[in-house]
Structure 1
Amino acid sequence: MIDEETGYEAVRSRDGRFDGEFFFAVETTGIYCRPSCPAVTPKRRNVRFYPTAAAAQGAGFRACRRCLPDAVPGSAEWNVRADVVGRAMRMIGDGIVDREGVAGLAQRLGYSARQVQRQLTAEVGAGPVALARAQRAHTARVLLQTTLLPITEIAFAAGFASVRQFNDTIRAVYAATPTELRASAPRRRAPAAPASGIPLRLAFRGPCQSGAVFDLLAAEAVPGVEEVSGAHGRRTYRRTLRLPYGQAIVAVDERSHGGWLDARIRLGDPRDLTTAVQRLRRLFDLDADPYAVDERLGRDPRLAPLVAARPGLRSPGAADPEELAVRALVGAAEAGRLVTAYGKALDAPCGTLTHVFPEPAALADAEDVPPAVSALATALADGTLRLDAGVDRDDAQETLLALPGMDPRTVALIRARALGDPDVAPPDADVPDTWRPWRSYALRHLRTASRPGPAGRAEQAEPLETGV
């Protein structure tokens, strides 16, 4: 949390760089906002600052209907931090509390529920229940304002245990009933019917080199699971996803619009919406802080011209960490064969998308997969290895290195992409410590500069990139 005087200066200047890094509330109105809110700047004595939307809600403030503070990018801090708070925030974002409760979150973190509650409250001003509640409220608002789903279905799809809990939360957070919130939605386009998918805006802060991410995804695309279509600058990335409650097909457009990417998500089960959104955000690295990254790397003479040429370059993650780990071992061609042989077919193929990538258990029992893949799949299937959003990255790396067929360079790739670590350097890479904590971004700059893809044409499919 930044100091309050700096925070107030950010509010006075409506500085969007701080959106999602903190929130401010106004005591005289009972409303909390993002720093870039266009409303009249309140007097300093009436302003209070909070590290999370949940903390502001817990203090009794409701969300501003003008700036929609619940829709801002998440704080980049949680991706950088490897401690229990950072891990817990990533897991709550992935929907663990909704699916497994606080006890499940604590068990995955290796702490007691009381310890998790205490540390989160001290650091971010709210415990896991309040943080998950804020996230559920945001999911519900999106569904109310962008779909024609019945309100009762939305309540359970957003993760609420009852319609009464849903109604009470919406009133507390938005000072409106669900019906009123739906009626207040902008009418730029009609709400989507459930069958057509949920239209979303994936917000990001600062500049975003989405084209470089699309170049990489096009080069790595596995047939049947992914595709990139359209002309350069207007491409669409589509893929299938295996989620906790079912399957999904997601699509993201390359062209950005004033701080967001357009996306569509067609879910087999609406309860998977929060998880699907978080998977896309990690894949496209949308919670990054490009200002901090570019400021640090831009000081280096080797990187300065690259940062100037591509401000806001992202370090892509993974939509499915387990899938990426397998693909890091075998490359696109063998991954395609595994999809055909062991992937689960979609109930209804959608264009070239026909399958969901095989589950680890299916590969662990297969007889014709490479031994290294079999060992990896077995470790994932029996829980020896975890690659979820809140896993301890050092523990996961140690487990990976102990598997047969794993080398340090492949493990570094898995750590950077599947685990979203922003500070990974492959062994023997020429990476100085002055690039910390953004070494993954530094390597992405070097890799992108050394192999620019021809405009409008994907590079030849090959194994996932492992650095420079």
Structure 2
Amino acid sequence: MTTEDSRYEAVRSRDARFDGVFFLGVTSTGIYCRPSCPAVTPKRENVRFHPTAASAQGAGFRACRRCRPDAVPGSPEWDVRADVVGRAMRMIGDGVVDREGVAGLAARLGYSARQVQRQLTAELGAGPVALARAQRAHTARVLLQTTTLPVTEIAFAAGFASVRQFNDTIREIYDATPSGLRAARRGGLGSAGPAPAAGDDGAAATGAGPYAGVPLRLAYRGPYAAGRLLDFLARRAVPGIEEVRGEAPARTYRRTLALAHGTGVVEVDERTGGTASGRHGWLDARLRLTDLRDLTTAVQRVRRLFDLDADPYAVAERLGGDPALGPLLAADPGLRSPGAADGDEIAVRAVLGQQVTVAAARTLAGRLVAAHGKPLPVPDGALTHLFPEPGALADAPLDELGMPGSRKRTLRTLSAALAGGRPPGAEGVAGAGGRGPVVLAPGADREEAVRALLALPGIGPWTADYVRMRALGDPDVFLPGDVGVRHGLAAVGAAPAAADRWRPWRSYALHHLWNAARPRALEENT
């Protein structure tokens, strides 16, 4: 999709593969759409292409009420790219601009606010404030159309500074008042009427407050191997913070979330919804938050955990024709590479999993949660705690783990590096003071994170790369020394050198190899 002509061909064919990759503004109607919008294809001379929804909004286009372009999966480009723009987009998605402003975003990136503004505007047609504003508007629409919360509460929960700013933004982007947008919801609040558009993140249920829950439809593109991903998470579910209920293919994954303003519990169903074509789809989810200001951040963290912004078409194009991996992709279309709800948690769990089985690592993590995790304000079934904060582990004796002393020292050293040098309000900012911390927050520099991890005693290449793949969402990680990978390579008759053919999607190749390995080998990797 490098030329406007090729983009227009995608629009003419209503190709859903490119939903979220670019948007089109129609000058004759003043609206912008996703490429797969079912409306009549506009004339070529009336179409303007935009890399982001914020860019289209900044050019004066309103969101289409038919295809709801703000509800598409995010562009997979931001997962692949490790440059400033890619990192900035991941940080904005996590709510950094809402919490810390443009200055905070720039500090995390190591650039001036002016440089960040210039680079984002040049590539995306919108600066950080406009990008965050588009995200706030989307969050507001979700709350308006899926809960019965008062409009004033929604304004501040979505991150707006004032009700007036909220009203003006909704009118500008959706050409409707907040009350009108709520009334226009399909079927009406509390109704079991027609389902929202495919891939939308609305739902037919309602909420009566933070603990009543916000129902969501988490959009993804292409095929999605939900069963495989639930298998992966279920094998590693840590007691107290995670659980998987039910039986396949109707399981529900549940976990706790530590967020900026409070705590949360998320539930994600294994069953997928979508169209017969398979090009649109969603996972049904529910979020219960102590503070609705955390909604946007919570949604983005769940999306990263479930790898919902991936591009399975690009992965299949690279790996599907490979003699070793082709049959695996045909058997498991849409296999995802699970990410993380919290990067620090994944790093600690990776150390716990060194040289032990998955089951043993899960047991150790459960002991750690019980001894050092922060209890939820109100237990939610089997979910009772948040994963321990690094600061709580840095000086802990960790006797409850029963691990060798060297492993406990590694865990304390890592925890100190994760927590070190972070003054209040500057969580995750490199160089904030003291020793340079290991930064695993969304948008962190991947190369710098790996270098910092490898500098710690007891952290080797396997641990650092595993953390890079899951905590930082790198789609191009390979673990040649992993036991499961070696068994998978043997099963498909490939040598480790074959991995060079699988760039830039080696993380997906790795998961296919794990699934091809013997069951016992699967239990031997974290």
TM category, shorter: over 0.9
Matched position secondary structure for 2:348: helix
Give, as a single letter, the amino acid of the residue that structure 1 aligns with 2:328.
L
What is the aligned partner in structure 1 of residue 319 from structure 2?
A: 297
- Counterpart pick for 2:398 among 368, 378, 399: 368
User: Which residue of structure 1 lines up, in the alignment, with residue 86 of structure 2?
Assistant: 86
Aligned residue identity for 2:338: P
Contact 1:16 1:36 in 2 (8 A): yes
Per-residue CA deviations over 1:382-417 (Å, capped at 9, x if unaligned) read 141110111110000000001121111111100000
Residues 27, 47 of structure 2: 8 Å contact kept: yes
1:401 has 2:423 as partner: no
CA distance in 2, matches of 1:106, 1:391: 12
Cα distance in 2 for residues equivalent to 1:338 and 1:46: 59
Aligned residue among 190, 212, 221 for 1:196: 212
Alignment match, 1:426: 479
Amino acid at match of 1:204: Y
Query: Which residue of 382, 387, 391 corresponds with 2:444?
Result: 391
Q: 1:427 to 1:21 in 2, by over 3 A?
A: same
Provide the residue aligned with 1:443 in structure 2. Answer: 510
Which residue in the other structure is 1:14 paired with?
14
Q: How far is the alpha carbon of 1:425 from its aligned partner?
A: 1.3
From 246, 251, 254, the equivalent of 2:267 is 251
CA contact (8 A) 2:272 2:282 kept: yes
TM-fit CA distance, 1:298: 1.1
TM-score w.r.t. the length of structure 2 is 0.85
Contact 2:120 2:128 (C-alpha < 8 Å) held by counterparts:
yes
Alignment identity in percent? 69
How far did 1:373 drift?
1.0
| Conserved? CA contact 2:391–2:416, under 8 Å | yes
Matches of 1:176 and 1:375, distance apart in 2: 53
Q: Work out the CA distance in 2 between the residues paired with 1:439 and 1:291.
A: 15
- Paired residue for 1:124? 124
**How far does residue 2 in structure 1 lie from its aligned partner after superposition?**
2.8
Following superposition of structure 1 onto structure 2, how do residues 83-162 of structure 1 map, counting pairs within 5 Å? 83-162=83-162
Other-structure match for 1:279: 301
Letter in 1 for 2:343: P
Hey, what's the Cα distance between the residues in 1 that align with 2:205 and 2:269?
A: 19
Aligned partner of 2:363: which letter? Answer: A
Deviations along 1:346-394, one digit per CA (max 9) or x if unpaired, are: 1111111111111111111312261111111101111411101111100
Can you list the C-alpha shifts for 1:398-454, whole angstroms capped at 9, x where unaligned?
Answer: 00001121111111100000110000112547152111000000011111122469x
1:246 offset after TM fit, Å?
A: 0.7
Give the alignment's TM-score, normalised by structure 1. Answer: 0.96
Q: Secondary structure at the match of 1:432?
A: helix
**How many angstroms apart in 1 are the aligned matches of 2:313 and 2:77?**
13
Q: Could you tell me how far apart the structure 2 residues matched to 1:192 and 1:7 are?
A: 39
Relative to structure 1, the CA distance from residue 271 to residue 71 in structure 2 (aligned partners, 3 Å threshold; closer, same or farther) is same
Stretches of structure 2 that go unaligned for 5 or more consecutive residues are 193-203, 275-280, 353-360, 400-407, 422-436, 486-495
- Separation in 2, partners of 1:229, 1:400: 35
| Aligned counterpart for 1:268 among listed residues 290, 293, 297 | 290
- Cα distance in 2 for partners of 1:160, 1:67 equals 25
- The equivalent residue for 1:319 is 341
Mapped partners of 2:389, 2:40: distance in 1 = 52
1:357 is the counterpart of 2:373: no
Structure 1 residue 134: deviation in Å? 0.2
Q: Work out the CA distance in 2 between the residues paired with 1:379 and 1:36.
A: 46
Deviations 1:255-306 (A, max 9, x none): 1000000000000110100010000100010000000001101121000000
1:54 touches 1:130 (CA, 8 Å); kept in 2? yes
Segment drifting more, 402-411 vs 92-101: 402-411
Distance 1:123 1:433 in 2: 30
Match of 1:332 among 362, 380, 387: 362
Partner residue of 1:309?
A: 331
- Give the Cα–Cα distance (whole angstroms) in 2 for the partners of residues 115 and 105 of structure 1: 11
Separation in structure 1 between the aligned mates of residue 2 and residue 19 of structure 2, nearest angstrom: 12
Task: Tell me the distance in 2 between the aligned counterparts of 1:389 and 1:277.
Answer: 13
1:222 and 2:252 aligned: no
How large is the RMSD of aligned CA atoms in angstroms?
Answer: 1.4
Greater RCO (CA < 8 Å, at least 6 residues apart): 1
Name structure 1 gaps, 5 residues minimum: 454-458
Matched, 1:239 2:277: no
* Contact 1:328-1:463 at 8 Å conserved across structures: no
Aligned equivalents of 2:61, 2:84: Cα separation in 1? 27
Look up the SS of the partner of 1:294 in the other structure: helix
For residue 19 of structure 2, what is the amino acid of its counterpart?
D
Cα distance in 2 for partners of 1:464, 1:268 equals: 35
8 Å CA contact retained: 1:220, 1:463? no
